[in-house]
Amino acid sequence: MRKRNTLLAMVVLSLFAMVSFTVAEYSTYPPKKNVPIFTKVIYEGNDQVYNDYPLEEGEFYNPILQGCYPDPSITRKGDDYYMVCSSFAMFPGVPIFHSKDLVNWTDLGGVLDDITEFNPHDTGISQGVYAPGITYNPHNDTFYMIVTAFSGGLGNIIVKTKDPMKGWGSPKKLDFGGIDPSIFFDDDGKAYVVHNDAPDKGKELYNGHRVIKIWEYDIEKDQVIAGTDEIIVDGGVDITEKPIWIEAPHIYKKDGSYYLMCAEGGTGDWHSEVIFKSDSPKGPYIPAPSNPILTQRYFPKDRENMVDWAGHADLVKGPDDQYYGVFLAIRPNEENRVNTGRETFILPVDWSGEYPVFENGLVPIEPKLKMPKGVTNKTGQDGFIPNGNFTFEEDFSSDKLDYRWIGLRGTREAFIKQTKKGLEITPFSTNIKERKPTSTLFHRQQHKTFSFTTTLEYEPKSEKDMAGVTAYQNENSNYVFGITKKGKQNYLVLQKNSKPNWRGETVSKIIATEPIDLDGPIDLNISAEGDKYQFSYAVNGSDFKTVGGTVSGDILSTDVAGGFTGALLGLYATSGNDIILED
């Protein structure tokens, strides 16, 4: 079993070979004199919906995971619930959370936390790993996490553990294609894997036509059994209506019958959840007459506090013996843009009849829910993840860096060092626009209205040096706000990087520059009210000055930039700055 807290030297040495950086780039430890030091970060979220709907006794907020935590999957052992989400090229891969009650959650880090085994070093941000499934097998007291990895030639992989609190075993490559796998353990101990795949060659009837396949699984060998694969759903609920992107399958057993639940309609505004039933795990599966059982696609786009794109769900029995479903959905801003990304929501599920139905999942989803009986809301307290509007302060003085801080395409420990002065970031020679690991420590944007402020001590030595902050959707869509040098003068620069031109080159534009004297620390701030973003600074700790005015958050939205992630806010440093300032 791997240990989560691998020694820093081991992590760095493993990254040498995997990321193909030169030894010279890593020889920056101990840091150079001009290494940037970030001494404080304050993230404040202030969405109006939480001001308009204060919690009353016995209530909690939905979503339960704010920001880019899509594709949730959940399992239970006794009183312990474990939930995983997609992470794409963020590192560590596959964030995992623990709860005793489905309301109060703790962050356990990432399942795939060994860079020598999962290394998304050269992938786009929306590649890496996504759509994980987590399942507890009571027959051997083992947890399984199965996922598709779009990096390093891994494909579909599975990892196991007896205790998710203590880390996971090494990935095992599985011999099948497709995406969105999940594993099901029957009462007799037999195991099955289901996943999305393309139709058999020559049988694709329309764009978005997909199938659900099932395999028998050998628990001893941890491998699907060759030749056992069958198609159990072709197209979706009704192939005559040309349903698109049947995916994210999960099998459940209840009262002797087997239920197959899938997402259908794509991950956008036609997203939904549908259910099928069978007398056998391998089918045939008959769709419920009441499908879909969860969707937000039928409602006006100008509805208040809109939640949309709901789907990609998983079911679990709660502490009150009631079923619940976790699923992804979005909360778009006033321009109907998706900057916080796909988030994890939860709803109670009524399974008193033949088929499960998400309670209030076929009407506009509300921002609050009643808690399971006997549960106390402790979100934001005692180490539990905060929910609603909250303030998070980080001075980097604790021995263990909060799991909310993540790397991109590589481990954060490769470039950070916690010191008495603050967090040192040793700059890589890569810059934010490259599809490589960058020396950037990221925090998810979790609110539509927020403020992200950091205090920086830094003195660039040349025009190749830059440090500051970034608002980042992907390598081609981001803002950079930082300090660099031209001649003997230091400058604050705000740059916008947007979609590539016809030559495939990222279109970069300097929005504003400002000469600045660095006699001490400087505060840098990113703030937003919906689609309107501002970048500002203060040299006296209080009087902030905006640079570049108000800019659009369009390039930070999923629907404009493309891909599957939400916006990230980063502490950024590079020795490969390519922003050219005019004389």
Task: Give me the sheet containing 506-515, strands edge to edge.
Answer: 440-444, 568-574, 466-474, 477-486, 489-500, 506-515
**Which of 543, 538, 546, 542 lies closest to 518 in space, CA to CA?**
538
Query: What phi-psi label fits residue 215: left (phi over 0), alpha (psi between -120 and 50 degrees) or beta?
Result: beta
**Which of 312, 573, 235, 558 lies closest to 432 in space, CA to CA?**
573
Residue 388, pLDDT > 80, answer yes
**Which of 218, 224, 267 lies closest to 245 in space, CA to CA?**
267
Active site residues: 71, 247
- Going by their DSSP bridges, the two strands 477-486 and 489-500 should be labelled as antiparallel
Q: Give the pLDDT score at 153.
A: 85
Q: Give the pLDDT score at 500.
A: 72
Name the average pLDDT for the chain.
93
What is the enclosing helix (H) or strand (E) of 13? helix 8-19
| For the chain, the helix, strand and coil percentages under 3-state DSSP, each to the nearest 5 | 5, 45, 50
Least confident range from 21-25, 256-260, 414-418, 536-540: namely 21-25
**Which of 443, 442, 479 lies closest to 554 in space, CA to CA?**
479
Burial level of 394, CB count in 10 A (0-12/13-18/19+)?
buried
Beta strands in 445-557 (DSSP E): 449-457, 466-474, 477-486, 489-500, 506-515, 522-529, 532-538, 545-552
Residue 17, pLDDT > 80, answer no
Q: Give the pLDDT score at 515.
A: 95
**Which of 204, 258, 201, 270 lies closest to 232 in space, CA to CA?**
258
Six token digits for residue 136: 């507890």
> Would you give the distance in Å from CA 579 to the centre of its chain?
29
Residue 425, pLDDT > 50, answer yes
Residue 346, pLDDT > 80, answer yes
Q: Give the pLDDT score at 583.
A: 66
Q: Give the pLDDT score at 502.
A: 67
- CA atoms within 13 A of residue 467's CA, in its CB half-sphere: 27
Task: Determine the Cα–Cα distance for residues 290 and 278; give it in Å rounded to an integer.
Answer: 16
Top pLDDT among 316 and 8 is at 316
Q: Are 72 and 344 a contacting pair, CB within 8 Å?
A: yes
What is the enclosing helix (H) or strand (E) of 16? helix 8-19
Task: Determine the Cα–Cα distance for residues 450 and 426; give it in Å rounded to an integer.
Answer: 27
pLDDT band at 362 (very low <50, low <70, confident <90, very high): very high
Q: Give the pLDDT score at 243.
A: 97
Q: Give the pLDDT score at 27.
A: 36
Burial level of 224, CB count in 10 A (0-12/13-18/19+)?
buried
Neighbours of 19 (CB within 10 A): 21
Q: Phi then psi for 558, rounded to 5 degrees?
A: -60, -40
Q: Are 471 and 526 a contacting pair, CB within 8 Å?
A: yes
Q: Give the pLDDT score at 275.
A: 98
Q: Is 276 helix (H, G, I), strand (E, B) or coil?
A: strand
The owner of tokens 């205790």 is 163
Q: Give the pLDDT score at 519.
A: 87
**Percent of the chain residues past pLDDT 90, beyond the cut:** 89
Peptide linkage before 284 cis (omega within 30 of 0): yes
Burial level of 26, CB count in 10 A (0-12/13-18/19+)?
middle
pLDDT band at 582 (very low <50, low <70, confident <90, very high): confident
Beta strands in 359-465 (DSSP E): 368-370, 391-394, 407-408, 416-418, 423-425, 440-444, 449-457
Q: Give the pLDDT score at 152.
A: 81
DSSP state of 371: P
Q: Give the pLDDT score at 33.
A: 57
Return the exposure string of 43-79: e unless at least 16 CB atoms fall within 10 Å of the residue's CB, then b: bbbbbebbeeeebeeebbbbbbbbbbbbbbbbbbeee
Find the mean pLDDT for residues 359-377. 96
Q: Note the pLDDT tens digit of each residue in 29-83.
A: 344 557 999 999 999 999 999 999 999 999 999 999 999 999 999 999 999 999 9
Task: Determine the Cα–Cα distance for residues 398 and 401; give it in Å rounded to an integer.
Answer: 7
Q: Note the pLDDT tens digit of each residue in 199-256.
A: 999 999 999 999 999 999 999 999 999 999 999 999 999 999 999 999 999 999 999 9
Residue 335, pLDDT > 70, answer yes
Task: Determine the Cα–Cα distance for residues 121 and 119; give it in Å rounded to an integer.
Answer: 5
> Would you give the distance in Å from CA 216 to the centre of its chain?
30
Find the mean pLDDT for residues 132-140. 98
Residue 8, pLDDT > 50, answer no
First to last CA, the chain: 57
Least confident range from 31-35, 102-106, 214-218, 434-438: namely 31-35
Task: Determine the Cα–Cα distance for residues 368 and 363; give it in Å rounded to an integer.
Answer: 14
Six token digits for residue 481: 């706000």
**Percent of the chain residues past pLDDT 70, beyond the cut:** 93
Query: What phi-psi label fits residue 303: left (phi over 0), alpha (psi between -120 and 50 degrees) or beta?
Result: beta
Task: Determine the Cα–Cα distance for residues 96 and 72; give it in Å rounded to an integer.
Answer: 10
Query: What phi-psi label fits residue 519: left (phi over 0), alpha (psi between -120 and 50 degrees) or beta?
Result: alpha
Task: Determine the Cα–Cα distance for residues 294 and 315; give it in Å rounded to an integer.
Answer: 12
Q: Give the pLDDT score at 547.
A: 97
Residue 16, pLDDT > 50, answer no
Q: Give the pLDDT score at 505.
A: 72
